[in-house]
Amino acid sequence: METRQIIIIGGGLAGLTSAIHLSKIGLRVTVVEKQLFPKHKVCGEYVSNEVLPYLEWLGLDVSKLKPTQISKIIFSTSSGKIVRGNLPLGGFGISRYALDEFLHQKALSNGCSFIHESVENIDFNNDVFTVTATGNQTLTADFVIGAYGKRSNLDQKLHRDFISRQSPWLAVKAHYSGDFPNDTVGLHNFKGGYCGISKVENDTINVCYLADYKTFKNYKNIEDYQQAVVSKNPNLRPIFENMNPLFEKPLTISQISFEKKQAVENHVLMVGDSVGMIHPLCGNGMAMAIHSAKILSELLGDFFAGKIQSRAALEKKYTKTWNSNFSNRLSVGRFLAKILGKSKLSENLMRLLTVFPSLLPKIINKTHGKALVLNS
C-alpha cells in the first residue's frame, strides 16, 4: 500500500488552498471530499484583500472569475440605525460555487489526487495515519489535515470538546437578483441574529444570515421567519420583498459553534473552520481559512525540508502560530457578538460610532489582518 505524504479531509477553501500550496512545493497530496465540484455552500462569500498576495504566489488569478470589488460597509442595528464606513483593505465578492471549483481545477493541474467519499475513521499508530473511507477504502499518510469545516462526525470520533455541547446557531444562505450596490457589503443586526449582503460575480446578490435556533423554531418555515423576525430591521425588509430568489430553496446548516477549538487533535492538523470560526458579522471567515492554510503549509514545508525536527515540534509551532494570528480576532468577534445581541448595548455602540465614525474601521481592523507576506 502506497503511503501518501499528506491526506486532506475536506475540499473547502482551507483544504483546497492547502492542497495547492503543498503540491506547489513538491509534496504528494490526496484530498478526500464527499461532494463533487462545483457546489454551493453556506457562506458570506466576501474575501478580504489581505489574501491577494498569497493567492498570486499560488498562481491563482481570481480576477478571471470577475468578482465584485468591495470597499464600503453599511452596518445597522436591529432598529435600523445605520453607520457607513470604508473597509481598510477592501475585498471582493465571489461565490463558493465559482471559487471552490477554481481552486479544485488548480489543485488537479498541480497533480493532487481527489477521492469523493466520506471519511469514516482516522487512526494514528507508529507515526503513520490510516484513513478509512466509505467503500472500504483505506489510505495511509505521514500527515492528515482536517479541513472538513464547521462540524463533522469526525469531531465526535476525535473526542473534540466542543462537539458534545449544543450550539444555538443556524445559518441560512441564498442568492438573489435585484438592486444592491456593487461596492458595498451590508451587515445588519436583527433580533437573535446577523445578516450579511453583498454582490458576487454575475451581478448576483448573496444573502447569508446567522439565526438563533431557539427563535427560529417558533416559525413554520424560513419564509415566515424572515418576514416576522429578519425583516423587522427596515434595511432588510426590501431585500426579501423586492429581490428575486435564484435558488429553489435556501441552503441551511445548523449547530454552528463559535467555541474555542484546538489546532491539533490526535495529531490531525486542523485548518479553516475546523480549528476556529469567527462570527459572520466580522466578515473575515474566508480570508482566515486561506490564511490558516498558508501557515500550516509553510510549516509542513519546513518539516519536510528538515528545518523542523519532529512532529511534536511541528504541532507545537503550528498551535502557537495559529493562536498568535487568530485568537485575538476570534475573541473580538465573540465580544462584538455579545454586544450586538443586547439591544441597549448595540444602540449605545451605534451612537458612539455615529459621533466617532473613525472607530468603525478600527474595529474592523481588530478582526482582519494585514496583507499576507510569503516566508522567504
DSSP annotation of 272 reads: G
Whether the Cβ atoms of residue 3 and residue 84 lie closer than 8 Å to each other: no
Mean pLDDT of 27-44: 95
Whether the Cβ atoms of residue 99 and residue 212 lie closer than 8 Å to each other: no
Q: What is the dihedral of CA 290, 291, 295, 297, to 10 degrees?
A: 20
Better-scored residue on pLDDT, 368 or 30: 30
Q: Is 328 helix (H, G, I), strand (E, B) or coil?
A: helix
* pLDDT above 50 for 193: yes
> Strand pairing of 137-146 and 268-270?
parallel
Whether the Cβ atoms of residue 34 and residue 15 lie closer than 8 Å to each other: no
> Strand pairing of 244-245 and 205-212?
unpaired
Mean pLDDT of 289-294: 95
% of the chain beyond a pLDDT of 90: 61
pLDDT in tens, 196-249: 999 999 999 999 998 888 889 899 899 999 999 999 999 999 988 899 999 999
Sorted by sequence, the CB contacts under 8 Å of residue 132 that are 6+ apart come out as 119, 120, 121, 122, 123, 138, 139
pLDDT in tens, 97-127: 999 999 999 999 999 999 999 999 999 999 9
Radius of gyration of the chain (CA): 20
> Among 148, 195, 193, which residue's Cα sits nearest to residue 41?
148
* pLDDT above 60 for 1: no
Distance CA 304, CA 246 (A): 46
Q: Quick one: pLDDT band at residue 184, thresholds 50, 70, 90?
A: very high
Q: Quick one: pLDDT band at residue 267, thresholds 50, 70, 90?
A: very high
DSSP annotation of 26 reads: T
Report the mean per-residue pLDDT for the chain.
88
pLDDT in tens, 337-346: 666 666 666 6
* pLDDT on residue 61: 97
Q: Give the angle 75-76-81 at the CA atoms, nearest 5°.
A: 130
* pLDDT above 70 for 2: no
* pLDDT on residue 340: 60
Better-scored residue on pLDDT, 83 or 308: 308
Q: Which of 11-15, 16-20, 141-145, 279-283 has the lowest mean pLDDT?
A: 279-283
Distance CA 276, CA 259 (A): 8
Q: Quick one: pLDDT band at residue 138, thresholds 50, 70, 90?
A: very high
Q: How far is CA 199 from CA 37, 70, 168, 191, in A?
A: 22, 9, 28, 24
pLDDT in tens, 53-84: 999 999 999 999 999 999 998 988 888 888 88
Q: Quick one: pLDDT band at residue 32, thresholds 50, 70, 90?
A: very high
Better-scored residue on pLDDT, 175 or 361: 175
Question: What cell was used for 308?
Answer: 523542523
